[in-house]
Every structure is written in structure tokens, then in C-alpha cells.
Structure 1
Amino acid sequence: MNNVVLVGRLTKDPDIRYIQGTNTAVASFTLAIARDYKNKDGSTTTDFIPVELMGKAAEFCANYITKGRLVGVQGSIRVDRYETPEGDKRTFTKVAGRSIQALDSKKESNSDGPTFEPSYDSAPNEFAAVNDDEVPF
């Protein structure tokens, strides 16, 4: 089983690109996540985790997610292997996200009330529509 759930803040705005041929959106960003313990001197260590989302989730990032936003990401760990032009073998570990949700409100200077922030989940809907006439209560 390869499943990961992360909550953190974006270090910069997502980079959005499109795959040639399919025109599929790809969003890449880094999440800053503080570890849940303190060092001997009282400071905390922060991990910087690269994340990549594709398709509708990437388009959601382009429209709603910006630097500093607190987000939750669900996905899996992916290890990419490649070879440099000099012949050195390298690995790069990242999170291949399936769904993302904004966990804080977008700060808008010209809005007096709370704003609704949708989330995007690429998982299929597990619930079927039910006809209310057939429900016994």
C-alpha cells in the first residue's frame, strides 16, 4: 500500500504546465511541513516535500492555490530515476497527488464575509443517487 496524506503550506505559487498532445494540466509545488517534535534547543525542523498533481486537481491549483496557503494533499510516494548527461544515476522522490483541499480561507481585501473554497478529489464518487420515494424514513 502506498498512500500519503500531508498538511502544509506552499512555499511559492504552483508551477502550471501542460503536457503536449494531451493538453493535460500538471501543477508542481513544494509543501513546508513542520515536524511534530522540538529539538533540544526548542526549535522545530521543517521538511520541504515536492508535490505534483495532474488533470482537474492541477487546474484547481492554478485557480485557487497560492503561496502560503494551508492545504491538505492525498496521494502516493513516487521515486523517479534518471541519468544525468555525465552518466550519473540519480533518484528524485515526490508525492504524486490525487486530491487537494484548501484548509484556510483565501484572504481577499474586498470581501467582508467568508468565502467558499472548493476542493478537488479525483477519486470516483462512492455513493449512488437514491430516489427519495424509496427511502423508508
Structure 2
Amino acid sequence: MLNRVVLIGRLTKDPELRYTPSGVPVTTFTLAVDRNYTNSQGEREADFIPIVTWRQLAELCANYLKKGRLTALEGRIQTRHYDNQDGRRVYVTEVVADNVRFIDSNRDRQDQTPYAYGSPSGRGSKEEEHRPANEPFAGESEPINLSEDDLPF
């Protein structure tokens, strides 16, 4: 069986860092990913995909990712459910990322080196990992044209 996802998109807002009752960091954010085709008006649409990161990777994402930042990630799709206040079961589908790459540079930084965080094991890496621009996501950094009016929140 295989459950693997690779996405490239822009953050719709700054990541939200929280901690579980046992003190484990968890970050959530939404990634806007362009579709490969245009609609009947000739406009490109985007999907807004919820992302979750855990532990060291969660803290790194909270510290370095900002709204609008172009980001690539690898992870798995997870579906969970809970009962809301009305007693109805609510299903949530999200991507649990275990490898995040910051494709464009932070606007506050001068160097243009893309950074990669995480590890293929899914546990996250404690060390910063530099990757050359000719890695798998190189050349995939077409801008996603979003305005504040395009965001659903």
C-alpha cells in the first residue's frame, strides 16, 4: 500500500503553532495549490489543502514560513473524525507533512538558497538540510497568483 503526497503551493496565512497537552509541537497551515487547467472564464483555480506538521518540523515551519511563501512538501493523506457540539460526526482530510522545502527565500533574508526540513522517516530532522536548486522541486516555482479576495477566509 502507498500513501504519499507531493505538493507545491503558497501559504494562505501564517502557520499556527500549538502544543499538545504532553508538550509536542504541532503546526497547521493551508497550502494553495494551482490546478493544471483553467476554468471556463480562462482563470486558473486553486485547491486549498490543510497541512499538519509535528515536532521539530512544526517549530521550523512556524518560525520560517509566512503567508504567501512558496513551499514544497512531502507527506501522507490522513482522514480523522470527531463529534461536533451538535453531536454530528465531522470528517477531516489533511496532509501530514514529513518533509518541507522552502522554495523561495524569506523576504527578510538576502540569500536565495532553498531550504529543506524533515526526513524521509517522517520524524523530522533536528538539523537544517541544505539542498541544491537542481533537486526534484527545482523549476517548479511558478507563482500562484492569489489576491486577498481569492482566499476563502
User: 2:120 maps to which residue?
Assistant: 123
Contact 2:74 2:98 in 1 (8 A): yes
CA distance in 2 between partners of 1:73 and 1:15 (Å): 17
User: 1:7 maps to which residue?
Assistant: 8
- Residue aligned with 2:105, SS: coil
Contact 2:104 2:112 in 1 (8 A): no
Which of structures 1 and 2 has the bigger CA Rg?
1
- Residue aligned with 1:119, SS: strand
Contact 1:18 1:24 in 2 (8 A): yes
User: 2:87 maps to which residue?
Assistant: 87
What is the deviation of 1:41?
A: 1.5
In the superposition, the TM-score normalised over structure 2's length comes to 0.73
Percent of pairs identical after alignment? 38
User: 1:101 maps to which residue?
Assistant: 101
Gaps of 5+ in 2: 122-153
- Residue aligned with 1:85, SS: coil
What is the deviation of 1:35?
A: 0.4
- Residue aligned with 1:106, SS: coil
User: 2:72 maps to which residue?
Assistant: 72
What is the deviation of 1:16?
A: 0.2
1:48 aligns with 2:48: yes
CA distance in 2 between partners of 1:86 and 1:106 (Å): 42
User: 1:33 maps to which residue?
Assistant: 33
What is the deviation of 1:82?
A: 1.4
In the superposition, the TM-score normalised over structure 1's length comes to 0.81
Contact 1:10 1:29 in 2 (8 A): yes
Contact 1:30 1:48 in 2 (8 A): yes
Contact 2:81 2:91 in 1 (8 A): yes
Contact 1:56 1:122 in 2 (8 A): no
Aligned-residue CA RMSD (Å): 1.5
**In terms of mean alpha carbon deviation, does 1-10 or 32-41 score higher?**
32-41
CA distance in 2 between partners of 1:41 and 1:115 (Å): 36
CA distance in 1 between partners of 2:67 and 2:41 (Å): 29
What is the deviation of 1:29?
A: 0.2
User: 1:18 maps to which residue?
Assistant: 19
